[in-house]
């Protein structure tokens, strides 16, 4: 699959379905790799921190989760790109994993969330094999704990591990496990609470209008207000700056 650099992050391009198919292919390959599902928040984290941008650019794929990212690709480069959101990917991947007998695992989240995940999957995907669920402690892991986790997941037979630690923690964890855990890791962040009913997803018209962030803000105002106030405004500024910089460079080349 081809990609396009948006400022300092390489975003994977293609129809939505091609992302699902590629991840299933990677799961079958039993290769240690990871996928980042990037909303605007992740994009801004990468802009602020080059080391984090490097983590994204070493991923097998970086999907444009946020609608504003697809708009930016079109606004700057004329690329018509489907949104590839974690909230859509997760149920589609679970369905494919069930159909193709691919065991899955979950890393992160609270015990309560993982219990609800198990209940949901049992009802919605009755033939899907859950190889492992692991809720890590909310502190840095000791070396022996990391080694234990690596062994647990490698012995589990999981072909996809859904990582639920939130950005940027889950991306840093995935690269730390690259070439240690021998399967595909996918950072899904807030998609799991929505899937199992702990949070609600925005109506389709808000998703299509790029206003899903506003709906999420209404659900978690204390946690998300500062993030959205800074990331959204900075994102708009950076994209406009890139656009005008590109136009100015074209003018200079013509002179």
Residue 116 has pLDDT above 80, yes or no: yes
Q: Bigger pLDDT: 228 or 52?
A: 52
**CA atoms of 95 and 194, how far apart (whole Å):** 16
How is the chain split into domains, by residue range? 3-242
Q: Bigger pLDDT: 217 or 159?
A: 159
- pLDDT at position 250: 44
Categorize the per-residue pLDDT at 213 as very low, low, confident or very high, splitting at 50, 70 and 90.
Answer: low
Least confident of 15-24, 136-145, 194-203: 194-203
CB–CB of 66/231 below 8 Å? Answer: no
CB–CB of 1/22 below 8 Å? Answer: yes
Per-chain mean pLDDT for the chain: 89
| CA 236 distance to own-chain centroid | 21
Q: Bigger pLDDT: 244 or 148?
A: 148
Categorize the per-residue pLDDT at 127 as very low, low, confident or very high, splitting at 50, 70 and 90.
Answer: very high
pLDDT in tens, 86-114: 999 999 999 999 999 999 999 999 999 99
pLDDT in tens, 159-208: 999 999 999 999 999 999 999 999 999 999 889 988 888 777 656 666 66
Least confident of 65-69, 102-106, 121-125: 65-69
Instruction: Read off the pLDDT of each residue in 123-142 and give the average, rounded to a whole number.
Output: 93
- pLDDT at position 210: 66
- pLDDT at position 125: 97
**CA atoms of 109 and 134, how far apart (whole Å):** 8
**CA atoms of 249 and 32, how far apart (whole Å):** 41
**CA atoms of 37 and 194, how far apart (whole Å):** 15
**CA atoms of 129 and 160, how far apart (whole Å):** 11
């Amino acid at each position: 699959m081809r990609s396009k650099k948006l400022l300092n992050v390489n975003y994977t391009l293609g129809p939505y379905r091609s992302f699902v198919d590629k991840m299933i292919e990677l799961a079958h390959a039993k290769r240690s790799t990871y996928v980042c599902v990037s909303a605007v928040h992740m994009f801004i984290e990468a802009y602020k921190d080059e080391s984090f941008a490097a983590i994204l650019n070493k991923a097998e794929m970086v999907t444009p989760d946020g609608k504003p990212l697809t708009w930016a690709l079109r606004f700057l480069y004329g690329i018509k790109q489907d949104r590839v959101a974690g909230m859509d990917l997760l149920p589609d991947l679970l369905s494919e994993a069930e159909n193709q007998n691919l065991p899955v695992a979950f890393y992160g989240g609270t015990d309560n969330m993982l219990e609800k995940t198990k209940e949901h999957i049992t009802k919605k995907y009755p033939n899907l094999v859950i190889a492992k669920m692991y809720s890590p402690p909310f502190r840095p892991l000791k070396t022996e704990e990391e080694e234990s986790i690596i062994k647990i997941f490698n012995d589990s037979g999981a072909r996809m591990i859904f990582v639920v630690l939130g950005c940027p923690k889950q991306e840093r964890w995935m690269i730390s496990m690259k070439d240690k855990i021998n399967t595909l890791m996918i950072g899904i962040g807030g998609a799991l609470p929505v899937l199992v009913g702990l949070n609600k997803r925005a109506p389709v018209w808000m998703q299509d209008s790029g206003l899903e962030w506003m709906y999420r803000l209404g659900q978690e105002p204390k946690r998300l207000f500062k993030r959205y106030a800074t990331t959204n405004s900075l994102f708009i500024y950076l994209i406009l700056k890139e656009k005008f910089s590109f136009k100015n460079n074209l003018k200079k080349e013509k002179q």
